[in-house]
Structure 1
Amino acid sequence: MAGSKSVVLAALVANGAIAVLKFGAFLLTGSPSMLSETYHSISDTGNQVFLLIGIRYSAKQPSRGHPFGYGKAQFFYSFLVSVLLFGIAGWESLKHGYDAIRHGHQATPGTVTMAGATFDTVYVSVAVLLGAIAFETYAFVKANAELRRQMEEYGWTNLVEAFRSTSDVTTLTAFTEDAIALGGAALALVGIVLSRVTGNHIYDAVSAALIGLLLMGFALALAWENKRLLLGESVPADLGDDFESLIREHPGVTHVDRFRTMFVGPAEILVTADVSFGDGLDTTALDEDIGRIEEKLRERDDRVEFVYVEPEL
């Protein structure tokens, strides 16, 4: 959890500063790509705020109304990010880019004087985007390090498996968002430079539309990932098989009649099992066996938070 929070804080600081700089560059140039990138960075900043709210809310202790805790709050707030922030920002960016393609709007040539020197405004946009790439690279490196740490800890072999298996949607969101932010800044940079060099507005306008498509595509992917967890997805099949085998192979267990798992938080797993025990076990011995089963499950994966074993004699 601490790793996820540091990733979000790093992205929040970077995106907040970048949003202000991009908006300033848009006011100076009127570039469609810079407006799309402004929408992008504003949505990224709001994204981090939502994720921090989710982290804080999910840390609440279990209560009578929520006996398995509030861990799913992170799934919910991450889902809000995809729908409210990335979806809206993506649509506005795409619409603005489409209008620029149709009506021929492009960045306004001009100059700006700073510290006694006069610069073409296009260099302001280039400088802001290069700065954005530097900031986003820093945030991306942080998110990538946390995701790689989880991959090593849980034995995921590649990013695709990590995306399908992780329940840490906060790190997943930050990692993907930072990657999209780098792609968006690169697109805007290419579009602005090409439009300036060729004098053709189409490059800047198309870049703006492509940034919108990137955001909308990410919104759909993130919403899909959160849907599986909000609906109560079980742990990956191989991990579930390991859990069930640990119970089945425990001395005194004759059969596992029913076995279920579910993610109830980013790093919280619920395990329930109906287990048949051999004859001759008294209540004390049965309690001790169930306690040892719980210990084995937690040793196998430290995310196991809740274990309920129902003995079937």
Structure 2
Amino acid sequence: MREFFRLLKEGNKPALLAAIMNAAIALIKAIAYFITGNVAMFAELMHSLGDTANQVFVFIGSALSKKAPTERFPEGFARLVNLVLLGAVIIVGILAYETVKEGIHHIIEPAEAKSWFWLNIGVLGAAAILESTVLYKAMKEIAAGMEGEHVKGLQVVTASFKNIGNAKPATKLVFLEDLVATTGALIAIISIVIGTYTPFHNAEGYASIIIGCMLFYVVGRIFLDNAAGVLGVADEEMEESIGKLVIEDPHVRDIQKLMVVKEGEERHVELKVEFDPSMSIARASEILERIEKKILLVKGVTDVIIESDIDDNIPHWKAGNQRNQEE
């Protein structure tokens, strides 16, 4: 149990913050629903409760993925976060289905103008502000992961979208969920205004369908990313970066093999370089050790398997074309 609590300290912080924030939002929506009896507010309440449960699982999964290898699991638990996220998308998928179904129901049987208009608007407005706070925290973490770049202020927004593909799995889920939640709250506010002050009373139904489709996009994106993570997908962008780092060494004649594999939040590197045939074994070992230390300084890399061979005078490494040559 002590180890479990120690691992929780290493869990994904944006996921924990998102879980706490969504729990608070769910409580506010629950109070509003019990006062107004508004069906749309009930749907939003279910959405926030689902997000809360989802992000709790993500936080725990990201923490347990840091557990050290054991005799039974010698490869470690890095991919556990991908498995947890595959389970998490089931919750999001159910929410998406219920949201679309509720939207269709409202279109078929549109409700009349709602009472407690300002309470509904106020609650959804507060939810949008709180969700956007969590979203910005996730954006900052994603932007902070960009190599060689320091961004701040509004630049964080554009940088996070630019670097979303390289974000940690748990952070990416929080980012996508809160992006949908923030946008969805704004769409819901607009639909309530339209449904209240115009004859278009089924506006909320169309808004629910739009939000549901956005959630389905999150399901698809997270499922594909984490299914690949469970299988062990190559990180081609990092391969390119590490390849440039290695080939810059004046003693390296060529890179015969380079592979970077994603496992959860970790990156595993396998490398085979070519040296001058006249180089001594002791000198080659010294250079290999120096290269290994450089690679381990790259953010996300946890282990390196590196070996050498004599230069065969056949070019193997070409930036951006290594994988194509191997295939």
TM-score (norm 1): 0.83
| Cross-structure match for 2:190 | 190
- Deviation per CA, 1:190-239: give whole Å up to 9, x if none: 222222223543122222222222212221122223233333222233x3
**Structure 1 segments (4+ residues) deviating >6 Å:** 1-4, 154-157
Contact residue 261 and residue 270 of structure 1 kept, 8 A: yes
User: How far 1:67 sits from its partner (Å)?
Assistant: 4.0
The alignment partner of 2:178 has SS state of helix
| Cross-structure match for 2:246 | 247
| Cross-structure match for 2:51 | 44
* Matches of 1:27 and 1:139, distance apart in 2: 26
* Matches of 2:43 and 2:49, distance apart in 1: 10
Contact residue 11 and residue 63 of structure 2 kept, 8 A: no
| One-letter identity of the residue aligned with 2:38 | S
| One-letter identity of the residue aligned with 1:92 | E
Task: Give the 5 Å matches for 1:175-186.
Answer: 175-186=175-186
User: Cα RMSD between the aligned structures?
Assistant: 2.8
| Cross-structure match for 1:98 | 104
The alignment partner of 1:151 has SS state of coil
| Cross-structure match for 1:235 | 235
* Matches of 1:287 and 1:62, distance apart in 2: 28
> 1:9 and 1:203, CA in 2 relative to 1: closer, same or farther beyond 3 A?
same
| One-letter identity of the residue aligned with 2:230 | L
| Cross-structure match for 2:164 | 163
> 1:33 and 1:179, CA in 2 relative to 1: closer, same or farther beyond 3 A?
same
The alignment partner of 1:234 has SS state of coil
| Cross-structure match for 1:256 | 255
The alignment partner of 2:146 has SS state of helix
| Cross-structure match for 1:278 | 276
The alignment partner of 2:170 has SS state of helix
> 1:190 and 1:242, CA in 2 relative to 1: closer, same or farther beyond 3 A?
closer
TM-score (norm 2): 0.80
* Matches of 1:107 and 1:23, distance apart in 2: 21
Contact residue 32 and residue 106 of structure 1 kept, 8 A: no
Structure 1 stretches lacking a partner, 5+ long: 110-120
| Cross-structure match for 1:29 | 36
Contact residue 79 and residue 223 of structure 1 kept, 8 A: yes
**Greater RCO, CA 8 A, separation 6+:** 1
User: How far 1:68 sits from its partner (Å)?
Assistant: 4.2
* Matches of 1:141 and 1:245, distance apart in 2: 33
| Matched positions, count | 297
| Cross-structure match for 2:138 | 143
> 1:247 and 1:148, CA in 2 relative to 1: closer, same or farther beyond 3 A?
closer
Contact residue 13 and residue 59 of structure 2 kept, 8 A: no
* Equivalent of residue 307 in structure 1, options 300, 304, 309: 304
- Deviation per CA, 1:68-111: give whole Å up to 9, x if none: 432222222222222x11110010011011012112345664xx
Stretch moving more, 174-183 or 222-231? 222-231
| One-letter identity of the residue aligned with 1:306 | D
Contact residue 167 and residue 229 of structure 1 kept, 8 A: no
User: How far 1:151 sits from its partner (Å)?
Assistant: 2.7
> 1:144 and 1:234, CA in 2 relative to 1: closer, same or farther beyond 3 A?
same
Stretch moving more, 192-201 or 152-161? 152-161
Stretch moving more, 149-158 or 272-281? 149-158
User: How far 1:281 sits from its partner (Å)?
Assistant: 4.9
| One-letter identity of the residue aligned with 1:296 | K
* Equivalent of residue 124 in structure 1, options 119, 125, 142: 119
| One-letter identity of the residue aligned with 2:95 | A
